[in-house]
Chain A
Amino acid sequence: MSRFTEIWVYLAQSPLLWLALTVVAYVVADAIHRRLGRPAAANPVLIAVALLLAVLLASKTRYEDYFEGAQFVHFLLGPATVALAVPLHRELGRARARAVPFSIALLAGSATAVLTAVGVARLLGASRPTLMSLAPKSTTTPVAMGIAEKLGGLPSLTAALVILTGILGAILGPGLLRLLRVRDQAATGFAMGVASHGIGTARAFQLSERAGAFSGLGMGLNALATALLLPAVLRLFGL
Protein backbone atom coordinates (compact mmCIF):
# COMPACT_ATOMS: atom_id res chain seq x y z
CA MET A 1 0.00 0.00 0.00
CA SER A 2 1.41 3.39 -0.91
CA ARG A 3 1.89 6.09 1.69
CA PHE A 4 -0.87 8.16 0.11
CA THR A 5 -3.36 5.29 0.21
CA GLU A 6 -2.52 4.70 3.86
CA ILE A 7 -3.20 8.30 4.76
CA TRP A 8 -6.41 8.24 2.69
CA VAL A 9 -7.64 5.06 4.42
CA TYR A 10 -6.97 6.62 7.82
CA LEU A 11 -8.66 9.93 6.97
CA ALA A 12 -11.65 8.33 5.26
CA GLN A 13 -12.47 6.57 8.54
CA SER A 14 -12.23 9.64 10.75
CA PRO A 15 -14.97 12.27 10.93
CA LEU A 16 -12.41 15.07 10.61
CA LEU A 17 -11.99 14.90 6.82
CA TRP A 18 -15.66 15.29 5.89
CA LEU A 19 -16.36 17.77 8.66
CA ALA A 20 -13.50 19.95 7.43
CA LEU A 21 -14.53 19.62 3.77
CA THR A 22 -18.15 20.53 4.59
CA VAL A 23 -17.06 23.77 6.24
CA VAL A 24 -14.51 24.51 3.49
CA ALA A 25 -17.08 23.83 0.75
CA TYR A 26 -19.45 26.33 2.34
CA VAL A 27 -16.75 28.98 2.80
CA VAL A 28 -15.77 28.57 -0.88
CA ALA A 29 -19.45 28.63 -1.96
CA ASP A 30 -20.06 31.80 0.05
CA ALA A 31 -16.97 33.44 -1.48
CA ILE A 32 -18.18 32.51 -5.00
CA HIS A 33 -21.63 33.88 -4.16
CA ARG A 34 -20.15 37.18 -2.99
CA ARG A 35 -17.67 37.41 -5.88
CA LEU A 36 -20.55 37.07 -8.37
CA GLY A 37 -22.34 39.98 -6.69
CA ARG A 38 -24.77 37.87 -4.59
CA PRO A 39 -27.12 36.72 -7.36
CA ALA A 40 -30.10 34.78 -5.96
CA ALA A 41 -29.52 31.82 -8.31
CA ALA A 42 -25.98 31.25 -7.01
CA ASN A 43 -27.32 30.16 -3.63
CA PRO A 44 -24.41 29.19 -1.32
CA VAL A 45 -26.14 26.01 -0.07
CA LEU A 46 -26.63 24.91 -3.69
CA ILE A 47 -22.99 25.60 -4.62
CA ALA A 48 -21.62 23.90 -1.47
CA VAL A 49 -23.77 20.80 -2.09
CA ALA A 50 -22.64 20.66 -5.74
CA LEU A 51 -18.96 20.93 -4.73
CA LEU A 52 -19.29 18.17 -2.14
CA LEU A 53 -21.23 15.91 -4.54
CA ALA A 54 -18.38 16.26 -7.04
CA VAL A 55 -15.78 15.31 -4.38
CA LEU A 56 -17.85 12.37 -3.09
CA LEU A 57 -18.48 10.98 -6.57
CA ALA A 58 -14.83 11.41 -7.60
CA SER A 59 -13.58 9.67 -4.45
CA LYS A 60 -16.36 7.01 -4.59
CA THR A 61 -17.39 7.88 -1.02
CA ARG A 62 -20.75 6.66 0.27
CA TYR A 63 -23.17 9.17 1.82
CA GLU A 64 -23.13 7.23 5.12
CA ASP A 65 -19.36 7.69 5.37
CA TYR A 66 -19.61 11.37 4.50
CA PHE A 67 -22.33 11.87 7.11
CA GLU A 68 -20.09 10.40 9.86
CA GLY A 69 -18.17 13.66 9.69
CA ALA A 70 -20.91 16.03 8.51
CA GLN A 71 -23.28 15.01 11.31
CA PHE A 72 -21.57 17.50 13.64
CA VAL A 73 -22.73 20.36 11.41
CA HIS A 74 -26.13 18.74 10.91
CA PHE A 75 -26.63 18.38 14.67
CA LEU A 76 -26.52 22.17 15.16
CA LEU A 77 -29.86 22.48 13.33
CA GLY A 78 -31.55 21.51 16.62
CA PRO A 79 -30.08 24.26 18.84
CA ALA A 80 -30.43 26.74 15.94
CA THR A 81 -34.17 25.99 15.74
CA VAL A 82 -34.51 26.59 19.49
CA ALA A 83 -32.49 29.81 19.09
CA LEU A 84 -35.22 31.22 16.79
CA ALA A 85 -37.16 31.96 19.99
CA VAL A 86 -34.75 34.80 20.83
CA PRO A 87 -35.42 37.13 17.83
CA LEU A 88 -39.06 36.03 17.89
CA HIS A 89 -39.38 37.16 21.50
CA ARG A 90 -38.42 40.69 20.42
CA GLU A 91 -41.20 40.59 17.81
CA LEU A 92 -43.82 39.09 20.10
CA GLY A 93 -45.94 42.24 20.34
CA ARG A 94 -45.93 42.63 16.56
CA ALA A 95 -46.79 38.93 16.13
CA ARG A 96 -49.71 39.12 18.59
CA ALA A 97 -51.17 42.13 16.80
CA ARG A 98 -51.17 40.17 13.53
CA ALA A 99 -52.39 36.84 14.89
CA VAL A 100 -55.61 36.75 12.84
CA PRO A 101 -54.31 37.89 9.40
CA PHE A 102 -51.20 35.74 9.67
CA SER A 103 -53.21 32.65 10.72
CA ILE A 104 -55.38 33.02 7.63
CA ALA A 105 -52.29 33.47 5.46
CA LEU A 106 -50.72 30.38 7.08
CA LEU A 107 -53.69 28.12 6.35
CA ALA A 108 -54.03 29.37 2.76
CA GLY A 109 -50.29 29.12 2.11
CA SER A 110 -49.96 25.68 3.68
CA ALA A 111 -52.85 24.27 1.61
CA THR A 112 -51.50 25.96 -1.55
CA ALA A 113 -48.08 24.34 -1.02
CA VAL A 114 -49.53 20.84 -0.71
CA LEU A 115 -52.20 21.03 -3.41
CA THR A 116 -50.10 22.70 -6.12
CA ALA A 117 -47.17 20.33 -5.50
CA VAL A 118 -49.24 17.15 -5.66
CA GLY A 119 -51.59 18.47 -8.37
CA VAL A 120 -48.87 19.57 -10.80
CA ALA A 121 -46.75 16.44 -10.29
CA ARG A 122 -49.79 14.22 -10.85
CA LEU A 123 -50.67 16.02 -14.09
CA LEU A 124 -47.09 15.40 -15.23
CA GLY A 125 -47.33 11.70 -14.47
CA ALA A 126 -45.34 11.27 -11.25
CA SER A 127 -45.79 7.94 -9.46
CA ARG A 128 -47.87 7.64 -6.27
CA PRO A 129 -44.90 7.15 -3.87
CA THR A 130 -43.33 10.27 -5.40
CA LEU A 131 -46.57 12.26 -4.94
CA MET A 132 -46.84 11.27 -1.29
CA SER A 133 -43.16 12.12 -0.76
CA LEU A 134 -43.79 15.52 -2.34
CA ALA A 135 -46.90 16.51 -0.34
CA PRO A 136 -45.19 17.71 2.89
CA LYS A 137 -42.15 19.27 1.17
CA SER A 138 -42.66 22.83 2.49
CA THR A 139 -42.27 21.83 6.13
CA THR A 140 -39.07 21.33 8.08
CA THR A 141 -37.27 18.01 7.38
CA PRO A 142 -38.18 15.86 10.41
CA VAL A 143 -41.88 16.76 10.19
CA ALA A 144 -41.93 16.22 6.42
CA MET A 145 -40.28 12.79 6.74
CA GLY A 146 -42.73 11.70 9.43
CA ILE A 147 -45.74 12.78 7.36
CA ALA A 148 -44.43 11.17 4.16
CA GLU A 149 -43.98 7.89 5.98
CA LYS A 150 -47.58 7.92 7.22
CA LEU A 151 -48.88 8.68 3.70
CA GLY A 152 -46.92 5.85 2.06
CA GLY A 153 -44.19 8.05 0.58
CA LEU A 154 -40.43 7.59 0.80
CA PRO A 155 -39.09 9.58 3.76
CA SER A 156 -35.54 9.90 2.45
CA LEU A 157 -36.81 11.14 -0.95
CA THR A 158 -38.90 13.66 1.00
CA ALA A 159 -35.73 14.88 2.74
CA ALA A 160 -34.18 15.59 -0.67
CA LEU A 161 -37.35 17.36 -1.93
CA VAL A 162 -37.54 19.45 1.27
CA ILE A 163 -33.98 20.69 0.68
CA LEU A 164 -34.70 21.52 -2.98
CA THR A 165 -37.86 23.40 -1.93
CA GLY A 166 -35.86 25.40 0.60
CA ILE A 167 -33.23 26.36 -1.97
CA LEU A 168 -35.94 27.34 -4.51
CA GLY A 169 -37.74 29.42 -1.90
CA ALA A 170 -34.52 31.20 -0.97
CA ILE A 171 -33.82 31.91 -4.65
CA LEU A 172 -37.35 32.92 -5.78
CA GLY A 173 -38.92 34.35 -2.62
CA PRO A 174 -37.49 37.84 -2.15
CA GLY A 175 -37.85 38.78 -5.86
CA LEU A 176 -41.36 37.36 -6.11
CA LEU A 177 -42.55 39.23 -3.01
CA ARG A 178 -41.04 42.47 -4.32
CA LEU A 179 -42.94 41.89 -7.57
CA LEU A 180 -46.18 41.53 -5.56
CA ARG A 181 -45.29 44.75 -3.71
CA VAL A 182 -45.10 43.02 -0.36
CA ARG A 183 -42.72 45.35 1.48
CA ASP A 184 -43.68 44.55 5.05
CA GLN A 185 -40.74 42.63 6.59
CA ALA A 186 -42.99 40.57 8.87
CA ALA A 187 -45.15 39.36 5.95
CA THR A 188 -42.09 38.74 3.76
CA GLY A 189 -40.35 36.61 6.39
CA PHE A 190 -43.53 34.76 7.31
CA ALA A 191 -44.11 33.72 3.67
CA MET A 192 -40.51 32.54 3.28
CA GLY A 193 -40.78 30.39 6.41
CA VAL A 194 -44.18 28.88 5.60
CA ALA A 195 -43.19 27.91 2.03
CA SER A 196 -39.52 27.05 2.46
CA HIS A 197 -38.79 26.29 6.14
CA GLY A 198 -35.26 26.74 7.54
CA ILE A 199 -33.45 27.46 4.28
CA GLY A 200 -36.01 30.18 3.53
CA THR A 201 -35.46 31.41 7.09
CA ALA A 202 -31.69 31.55 6.59
CA ARG A 203 -32.33 33.73 3.51
CA ALA A 204 -34.87 35.87 5.38
CA PHE A 205 -32.28 36.66 8.08
CA GLN A 206 -30.15 38.20 5.33
CA LEU A 207 -33.03 40.54 4.43
CA SER A 208 -33.57 41.72 8.02
CA GLU A 209 -33.65 40.44 11.58
CA ARG A 210 -37.42 40.97 11.63
CA ALA A 211 -37.95 38.97 8.42
CA GLY A 212 -35.83 36.19 9.93
CA ALA A 213 -37.80 36.12 13.18
CA PHE A 214 -41.14 35.94 11.36
CA SER A 215 -39.74 33.32 9.00
CA GLY A 216 -38.88 31.13 11.98
CA LEU A 217 -42.43 31.63 13.24
CA GLY A 218 -43.87 30.68 9.82
CA MET A 219 -41.68 27.56 9.70
CA GLY A 220 -42.79 26.41 13.17
CA LEU A 221 -46.47 27.10 12.56
CA ASN A 222 -46.48 25.42 9.15
CA ALA A 223 -44.89 22.32 10.69
CA LEU A 224 -47.85 22.25 13.05
CA ALA A 225 -50.49 23.07 10.40
CA THR A 226 -49.19 20.53 7.87
CA ALA A 227 -48.85 17.73 10.42
CA LEU A 228 -52.44 18.28 11.58
CA LEU A 229 -54.21 19.16 8.34
CA LEU A 230 -52.41 17.52 5.41
CA PRO A 231 -54.21 14.14 5.48
CA ALA A 232 -57.60 15.95 5.52
CA VAL A 233 -56.58 18.32 2.70
CA LEU A 234 -55.50 15.42 0.48
CA ARG A 235 -58.71 13.50 1.19
CA LEU A 236 -60.85 16.58 0.54
CA PHE A 237 -59.37 16.90 -2.95
CA GLY A 238 -59.40 13.16 -3.62
CA LEU A 239 -55.61 12.98 -3.99
Chain B
Amino acid sequence: MLHGWAVLLVFQLAGEILARAAGWPIPGPVVGMALLLGALALGFPVTEALRGVSSGLLSHLSILFVPAGVGVMLHAPRLAAEWPALVVSLVVSTAAAIAVTGWLAARLSRGMEDAP
Protein backbone atom coordinates (compact mmCIF):
# COMPACT_ATOMS: atom_id res chain seq x y z
CA MET B 1 0.00 0.00 0.00
CA LEU B 2 2.84 2.38 0.85
CA HIS B 3 4.28 1.85 -2.60
CA GLY B 4 1.00 3.08 -4.10
CA TRP B 5 1.05 6.24 -1.95
CA ALA B 6 4.69 6.84 -2.81
CA VAL B 7 3.96 6.68 -6.54
CA LEU B 8 0.96 9.06 -6.33
CA LEU B 9 2.77 11.59 -4.11
CA VAL B 10 5.97 11.56 -6.15
CA PHE B 11 4.04 12.12 -9.40
CA GLN B 12 2.03 14.90 -7.76
CA LEU B 13 5.29 16.49 -6.61
CA ALA B 14 6.83 16.15 -10.07
CA GLY B 15 3.69 17.68 -11.62
CA GLU B 16 3.77 20.56 -9.14
CA ILE B 17 7.44 21.29 -9.83
CA LEU B 18 7.03 21.03 -13.61
CA ALA B 19 3.92 23.26 -13.71
CA ARG B 20 5.63 25.95 -11.63
CA ALA B 21 8.99 25.76 -13.39
CA ALA B 22 7.32 26.02 -16.80
CA GLY B 23 4.84 28.67 -15.63
CA TRP B 24 1.85 26.66 -16.93
CA PRO B 25 -1.62 27.74 -15.82
CA ILE B 26 -2.49 24.06 -15.09
CA PRO B 27 -2.56 22.76 -11.50
CA GLY B 28 0.26 20.45 -10.41
CA PRO B 29 -1.94 17.39 -9.73
CA VAL B 30 -3.40 17.56 -13.27
CA VAL B 31 0.15 17.66 -14.68
CA GLY B 32 1.00 14.78 -12.30
CA MET B 33 -1.94 12.78 -13.72
CA ALA B 34 -0.64 13.36 -17.27
CA LEU B 35 2.91 12.35 -16.21
CA LEU B 36 1.71 9.16 -14.53
CA LEU B 37 -0.45 8.30 -17.55
CA GLY B 38 2.60 8.80 -19.79
CA ALA B 39 4.73 6.62 -17.51
CA LEU B 40 2.08 3.86 -17.45
CA ALA B 41 1.80 3.99 -21.25
CA LEU B 42 5.59 3.57 -21.45
CA GLY B 43 5.43 0.45 -19.30
CA PHE B 44 5.66 1.72 -15.69
CA PRO B 45 4.05 -1.19 -13.81
CA VAL B 46 0.56 -0.91 -12.30
CA THR B 47 1.30 -2.78 -9.06
CA GLU B 48 -1.38 -4.22 -6.81
CA ALA B 49 -0.52 -1.47 -4.29
CA LEU B 50 -0.98 1.35 -6.82
CA ARG B 51 -4.23 -0.15 -8.07
CA GLY B 52 -5.50 -0.55 -4.50
CA VAL B 53 -4.69 2.97 -3.33
CA SER B 54 -6.03 4.53 -6.54
CA SER B 55 -9.34 2.73 -6.52
CA GLY B 56 -9.70 3.41 -2.78
CA LEU B 57 -9.23 7.16 -3.30
CA LEU B 58 -11.42 7.31 -6.40
CA SER B 59 -14.32 5.38 -4.90
CA HIS B 60 -14.53 8.01 -2.11
CA LEU B 61 -13.80 11.02 -4.29
CA SER B 62 -16.97 12.88 -3.20
CA ILE B 63 -15.95 13.37 0.43
CA LEU B 64 -12.78 15.17 -0.64
CA PHE B 65 -14.89 18.10 -1.91
CA VAL B 66 -16.68 18.68 1.38
CA PRO B 67 -14.11 21.05 3.00
CA ALA B 68 -14.06 23.28 -0.09
CA GLY B 69 -17.87 23.11 -0.26
CA VAL B 70 -18.20 24.46 3.28
CA GLY B 71 -16.19 27.46 2.01
CA VAL B 72 -19.40 28.64 0.31
CA MET B 73 -20.18 30.22 3.71
CA LEU B 74 -17.53 32.89 3.08
CA HIS B 75 -19.65 34.26 0.24
CA ALA B 76 -23.04 34.31 1.90
CA PRO B 77 -23.53 38.09 1.42
CA ARG B 78 -22.78 38.13 -2.32
CA LEU B 79 -24.66 34.87 -2.91
CA ALA B 80 -27.65 36.32 -1.04
CA ALA B 81 -27.56 39.52 -3.11
CA GLU B 82 -27.13 37.92 -6.53
CA TRP B 83 -28.60 34.45 -6.04
CA PRO B 84 -31.33 34.53 -8.71
CA ALA B 85 -28.83 35.36 -11.47
CA LEU B 86 -26.29 32.86 -10.13
CA VAL B 87 -28.72 29.97 -9.67
CA VAL B 88 -30.33 30.33 -13.13
CA SER B 89 -26.94 30.80 -14.77
CA LEU B 90 -25.36 27.78 -13.05
CA VAL B 91 -28.30 25.47 -13.80
CA VAL B 92 -28.65 26.53 -17.46
CA SER B 93 -24.93 26.52 -18.12
CA THR B 94 -24.15 23.20 -16.42
CA ALA B 95 -27.05 21.45 -18.17
CA ALA B 96 -26.12 23.00 -21.55
CA ALA B 97 -22.44 22.05 -21.24
CA ILE B 98 -23.25 18.45 -20.30
CA ALA B 99 -25.84 18.14 -23.09
CA VAL B 100 -23.60 19.63 -25.81
CA THR B 101 -20.49 17.65 -24.79
CA GLY B 102 -22.28 14.33 -24.27
CA TRP B 103 -24.46 14.56 -27.36
CA LEU B 104 -21.58 15.56 -29.66
CA ALA B 105 -19.18 12.99 -28.16
CA ALA B 106 -21.72 10.18 -28.61
CA ARG B 107 -22.93 11.34 -32.01
CA LEU B 108 -19.46 11.87 -33.53
CA SER B 109 -18.08 8.58 -32.23
CA ARG B 110 -21.01 6.52 -33.45
CA GLY B 111 -19.96 3.02 -34.37
CA MET B 112 -17.40 2.99 -31.53
CA GLU B 113 -20.04 2.50 -28.81
CA ASP B 114 -19.65 -0.05 -26.06
CA ALA B 115 -20.62 -3.52 -27.12
CA PRO B 116 -24.04 -4.25 -25.57
- Does B bind A? yes
Q: Point out residues on A near B: beta carbons under 8 Å.
A: 22-23, 25-26, 44-46, 48-49, 52-53, 56-57, 63, 66-67, 70-71, 73-74, 76-89, 92, 94, 97-98, 100-102, 104-106, 108-110, 112-113, 116-118, 120-121, 124-127, 130, 134, 137-138, 140-143, 146-147, 154, 156-157, 159-161, 163-169, 172-173, 176-177, 180, 182-188, 190-192, 194-196, 198-199, 201-203, 205, 210, 212, 216, 218-220, 223-224, 227-228
| Consensus secondary structure, chain B interface | helix
Inter-chain CA distance A196–B94, complex, in Å, is 7
Among B30, B32, B84, residue most surrounded by chain A Cβ atoms (within 10 Å): B30
Supply 15 further A-B pairs (C-beta < 8 A) apart from A71-B67, A177-B102: A70-B67, A81-B27, A87-B55, A109-B100, A138-B94, A156-B71, A156-B75, A184-B112, A187-B106, A188-B106, A190-B101, A191-B99, A203-B62, A224-B26, A227-B26
- Residue contact B101 to A180, C-beta cutoff 8 Å: no
Question: Given A83-B8, A83-B54, A49–B69 Cβ distance below 8 Å?
Answer: yes
| Consensus secondary structure, chain A interface | helix
- List residues of chain B with CB within 8 A of the CB of A77: 29, 64-65
Contact count band on B: 35 or more
- Residue contact A199 to B54, C-beta cutoff 8 Å: no
- List residues of chain A with CB within 8 A of the CB of B50: 86
- List residues of chain B with CB within 8 A of the CB of A124: 84-85, 88-89
Inter-chain CA distance A175–B50, complex, in Å, is 33
Proximity bits, B104-115, A CB within 8 Å = 1, else 0:
111111001110
- Residue contact A79 to B8, C-beta cutoff 8 Å: yes
